Amino acid sequence: MKWLSVIFVLAGLPVFSQMNKTDFSEIDRRVQFVEAATPFLLAQQLTAECTTDVQKVRAIFRWITDNIAYRTKETVSRKRKSRLTEEEETDDTTLLKPLDERVAETVLANKVAVCDGYARLFKTLCNYAGLQAEVITGYGKTEPHKVHQRFRNNHSWNAVMIDSVWQLLDVTWASGYITWQGDRFIRHLDEQYFLTPPDVFIREHYPDDLRWSLIDKPPLMAEFRLSPFKQKSYIKYNIISYKPAKGIIEANVNDTIEIVLESSNAAKDRNISSDPFLDTSIYSSPTSALLVAPGMIGPKTTYTYHVSSPTVEWLYILYNDDIILRYKLVVKNGLPGVATSK
């Protein structure tokens, strides 16, 4: 969640989306009076009078920004202690429901959430309204003045399909901000996070899966020069170091790149369940390569990559069947040699 200072940094930015120029005042007014006990009923009531996809998206977006508070110590203390996380089931029947649905029900009941809860509620309501939506995870640049913040998965947002075109939005950051002390949520509608153009959105939102940048060649964030991007599965493991330490690797065609991971407890790592929904095939393409260790992971696990094509730009590291790191590869002209990190 964004801190108070970020509001001042971003306040001067213009509203870029053409969709934001549409007059949604009637929808914004109407959704204020909608209440429902379940995500299904809420979606039906919010979109009953909508005739277009963008109207449906706006109604769902504005209801959430008006009614869901970011979870802080203050908001949690006012809610039932039996529901402190979005993942908890509301009753025995929810065991058969998908995770998105369970999270949405809990958020709707408590009216508080963190970014994952906001995003899953938005997706669930969209699905019930006949819209295709996805929860996107990745890096949210929450403090622009801090260059050395940890460059890893820390945020969730959404992509939604409107008239056969994917659009991006962040209903969490659009809802408001929390104070420096982290104990109070200030509701403040921020329109710049509603259907933001991808080339603007990428400045603060860097997805785990680069396809969801919705940009052919997504630009590098400054943090990439200091560290490879830690994917969402990275925190599951006991990785204590990785080499190269910097995120950009420079090499020539025919160079051999070596990447070494060190774990404090490799035996425990091998017993951790990997992501069952991971499709590794999408990470091997003309512009990306998936690096797999030749043997069982150990205290030190080594990966090698032979640079055979100048088109490969991204190296993904597979550890225990989970993708945990992403490096940027810059292929230069010149003689083969030792690859270096930039």
Q: Are residues 54 and 194 in the same domain?
A: yes
At 118, is the secondary structure helix, strand, or coil? helix
CA distances from 183 to 34, 176, 250 (A): 28, 14, 44
Q: Are residues 232 and 287 in the same domain?
A: yes
The widest CA-to-CA distance across the chain, in whole angstroms, is 68
The sign of the CA dihedral 205, 207, 211, 217 is: positive
Q: Are residues 171 and 272 in the same domain?
A: no
106: CATH: 3.10.620
* Per-residue pLDDT at 12: 35
Helices 53-67 and 39-47: crossing angle in degrees, nearest 10, is 120
Q: What tokens appear for 172 in the block?
A: 């969490």
Question: Whole-model pTM?
Answer: 0.83
Distance from C-alpha of 223 to C-alpha of 278, rounded to nearest angstrom:
25
Strands (E), the chain: 69-70, 112-113, 133-140, 155-162, 165-169, 176-178, 185-187, 205-207, 229-230, 239-243, 248-252, 256-263, 288-292, 300-306, 314-319, 322-332, 340-341
Name every residue whose Cβ is closer than 8 Å to that of residue 71 and which is 6 or more positions away in sequence. Answer: 112, 113, 114, 117
How does pLDDT run across 166-213, given as a tens digit for each residue?
Answer: 999 999 999 998 887 777 899 999 999 999 999 999 999 999 999 999
* Per-residue pLDDT at 8: 31
Q: Are residues 196 and 250 in the same domain?
A: no
Q: Are residues 261 and 320 in the same domain?
A: yes
Q: Are residues 177 and 313 in the same domain?
A: no
Final residue in a domain of this structure, among 219, 244, 273: 219
* Per-residue pLDDT at 72: 85
Domains: count for the chain? 2
Domain that holds residue 321: 225-341
265: CATH: 2.60.40
Q: Is 134 exposed, middle or buried (0-12, 13-18, 19+ CB in 10 A)?
A: middle
Q: Are residues 95 and 10 in the same domain?
A: yes
Final residue in a domain of this structure, among 219, 245, 260: 219
Final residue in a domain of this structure, among 219, 235, 265: 219
Q: Are residues 192 and 255 in the same domain?
A: no
* Per-residue pLDDT at 58: 98
* Per-residue pLDDT at 73: 73
* Per-residue pLDDT at 82: 38
Q: Are residues 41 and 153 in the same domain?
A: yes
Q: Are residues 205 and 261 in the same domain?
A: no
CA distances from 203 to 134, 143, 197, 214, 228 (A): 20, 12, 11, 13, 17
pLDDT tens for the chain, 342 residues: list them.
554 333 333 333 444 445 556 789 999 999 988 999 999 999 999 999 999 999 999 999 999 999 999 988 765 555 544 343 444 444 444 457 889 999 999 999 999 999 999 999 999 999 999 999 999 999 998 765 454 457 999 999 999 999 999 999 999 999 998 887 777 899 999 999 999 999 999 999 999 999 999 999 898 988 998 999 999 999 999 999 999 999 999 999 999 999 999 999 999 999 999 998 899 999 999 999 999 999 888 899 999 999 999 999 999 999 999 999 999 999 987 555 556 565
How does pLDDT run across 104-141, given as a tens digit for each residue?
Answer: 999 999 999 999 999 999 999 999 999 999 999 999 98
* Per-residue pLDDT at 89: 43
Q: Are residues 26 and 60 in the same domain?
A: yes
Q: Are residues 95 and 169 in the same domain?
A: yes
Which residue pairs, CB below 8 angstroms and at least 24 apart, start in 90-95? Answer: none
